Structure 1
Amino acid sequence: MPTLIPDLESAISIATGTPFHVKQQRSVGGGCINQAFVIGDAADPARRFFVKTNRAALHPMFVAEAAGLRALGAGIRVPQPIAHGISGDTAWLVLEYLPLAGSPDPELMGAALARVHRITPTGAPRFGWEIDNTIGCTKQSNRWHDSWVDFWREERLLPQFRLARQNGFDFGVAGEAVLDKIPDFFRTYSPQPSLLHGDLWGGNAAGLADGTPVVFDPACYFGDRECDLAMTELFGGFGSRFYAAYHAAWPVDAGYAQRKTLYNLYHIINHLNLFGSSYFGQARQMLAELLRGG
């Protein structure tokens, strides 16, 4: 990556209006998808930026991430996107560096998520997003739909089922039956499109020193707000104070308890497609639960 650092210096200088020259560089955890590091300025070591890199072909993933962060920033603190680009065979995204200090304050987090969910699409109340993005490194189609049931079936569950079959995991008639059953979960509930983080588990949220919530690594779209809430419960939960604060700001519908399995099925099958057979049994159990209920 011989041109990466000069390209970063140039892009940051242009974006911020202040010259930037890298003096300090240290690697940090970038998750299981990207590589990441923090760079500091020669003139002002306290002036730092967070940089994510991946293959050049994945530059659209960073474009979509930047768009998602900008949208989420209207309701919750995010690392602001500074610039993105390609240097040789490397795609990169420069973000504001935030000194994260552990978990977010749960009450502030719950209230902030409710604010995010109050953000709706301009114009007609449709489900989808301005561009496609990724969930992990799986392509996520955000084609606009007027019907939430159609969106969830066509743009979320059906692509994951097809990918699972390509990867050797066939759910057979159970998968088809759940796809056919989706309308049953919405007989008395008509969700309105809300801005969603889209990948909201504990690893994608943190707090500043004063507890201010910060979210990152989004997979945004406009959908049923219950999708975000469901995922917060999938890998350990955010704690009772978070949920109490969210529900105080915006209570959920009584049918959420059943629909959260429908929504989390998407993420479990995605994990199956990304990480392998250890998620196959869990996905089958969720399918059986959905076929018993609704």
Structure 2
Amino acid sequence: MPHPATLTPWLAEQLGIEPVGWTAVGGGCIHSAWRLDLSDGSRLFAKTNGASSLPLLETEAEGLQALAAAAGEEGPLVPRPLAWGLAGPSAVLVLSWLDLDGGRSAAHGPQWCCLGAALAGLHRHSLTRLCVAEDRVGTAFGWPRDNVIGAFPQRNGWDGIWGRFFVERRLAPQLEHLARSGTPLRQAETLLERAGQWLHNHHPDPCLVHGDLWSGNAAITAAGQGAIFDPAVYRGDREVDLAMARLFGGFPEAFFAGYEAAWPLPSGHRFRSDLYNLYHLLNHANLFGGSYLGQCQARMDNLLNRRAQEGGGWS
């Protein structure tokens, strides 16, 4: 990967800027992340990778634009995509800079509560706001094109039935990939069949969801505003965002209290949370293997056993 300073001509052409400094910053495990210092004292954020990674950066830019459109003025802060494309051998995405504080102590409780409420507002407002890449706001679940969850393909398209969409476009591709890779999970077909049955009478609104809302993709800025970033957007059950926020921890309870106060979740959401998070565990198993395979099998066994003990219906 060339030093990012070699991207200066591309930045001048795309944005009319010439950074006076590049500083590597912490980020995800896929791309290199940089702080761009400009001559006027302002900053921008950039991600770089090899040219083959351009589709990943393009879908991220599209997702951020969609979230910003749904958030409006009262929703969470979302970084703005400013430019993306190929600069020689490098794929580049330039975003507005977020001065993150990220604190999760009790002192930041009010800010996290506000972020929870703001996410609820984004979900609700997305039902009537047209997002980038969409030609209509309707009743279907999905997204106009496939994107990615981490570095793994995320199958989209449209489906008017949520349970079928979640089984066929989320769980099934992950389980199929594990099987093709030589690590099939027990009772995978049974799980897919039962999951469709469990969701048969659940009819959520097709909200725009972040899609990858773990604690590393949300923070509080130095100014005290809640922000979200690095999405894997689609239209789905809003509960998927709240579910993943609990999967790996890191979100204060104030976040969930703020969401619940703004838009309470319906009954049955605790079991659905475990089902929805199976998707992310399967994704981690496909990406990283290791202990995630055992976690997936344990989660599947638990889901099947719980519903058998409870008669298979929603509580």
- 2:190 maps to 177
- 1:100 maps to 100
- 2:37 maps to 40
Deviation at 1:132, TM superposition (A): 1.7
Unpaired runs of at least 5, structure 2: 131-135
Deviation at 1:274, TM superposition (A): 0.8
- 2:133 maps to none
Deviation at 1:124, TM superposition (A): 2.4
Distance in 1, Cα, partners of 2:49 & 2:271: 38
- 1:10 maps to 13
Q: 2:117 aligns with which of 111, 116, 132?
A: 111
Deviation at 1:237, TM superposition (A): 4.6
Question: Could you say if the C-alpha distance between residues 71 and 123 of structure 1 is closer, same or farther in structure 2, counting changes exceeding 3 Å?
Answer: closer
When structure 1 is superposed on structure 2, of 183-192 and 66-75 the one drifting more is 183-192
Deviation at 1:251, TM superposition (A): 0.8
- 1:30 maps to 27
Secondary structure class of the residue paired with 1:84: strand
Contact kept, 8 Å, 1:133 with 1:142, in 2: the verdict is yes
Deviation at 1:187, TM superposition (A): 4.3
Distance in 2, Cα, partners of 1:81 & 1:180: 40
Q: Deviations over 1:110-159 (max 9, x none)?
A: 10110121112633211011222111100111111111112111111111
Q: Deviations over 1:64-97 (max 9, x none)?
A: 1111111111312111110001122211100001
TM-score by length of 2: 0.87
When structure 1 is superposed on structure 2, of 194-203 and 183-192 the one drifting more is 183-192
- 1:89 maps to 89
Q: Deviations over 1:33-75 (max 9, x none)?
A: 110111122x31x121100011212211111111111111131
Unpaired runs of at least 5, structure 1: 14-19
Contact kept, 8 Å, 1:38 with 1:48, in 2: the verdict is yes
Q: Deviations over 1:171-196 (max 9, x none)?
A: 13x11111001133224421110110
1:137 and 2:134 matched:
no
Contact kept, 8 Å, 2:82 with 2:96, in 1: the verdict is yes
1:55 and 2:32 matched:
no
Aligned ranges 1:178-197 → 2 under 5 Å: 178-197=191-210
Matched-pair identity in % = 44
- 1:17 maps to none
Distance in 2, Cα, partners of 1:141 & 1:208: 32
Once superposed, which parts of structure 1, at least 4 consecutive aligned residues long, lie more than 6 Å away?
Answer: none
Secondary structure class of the residue paired with 2:92: strand
How many residue pairs align between the two structures? 285
Secondary structure class of the residue paired with 1:78: coil
Contact kept, 8 Å, 1:9 with 1:22, in 2: the verdict is no
CA RMSD, Structure 1 to Structure 2 (Å): 1.5
When structure 1 is superposed on structure 2, of 24-33 and 101-110 the one drifting more is 101-110
Distance in 2, Cα, partners of 1:202 & 1:58: 24
Contact kept, 8 Å, 1:161 with 1:269, in 2: the verdict is yes
1:72 and 2:67 matched:
yes
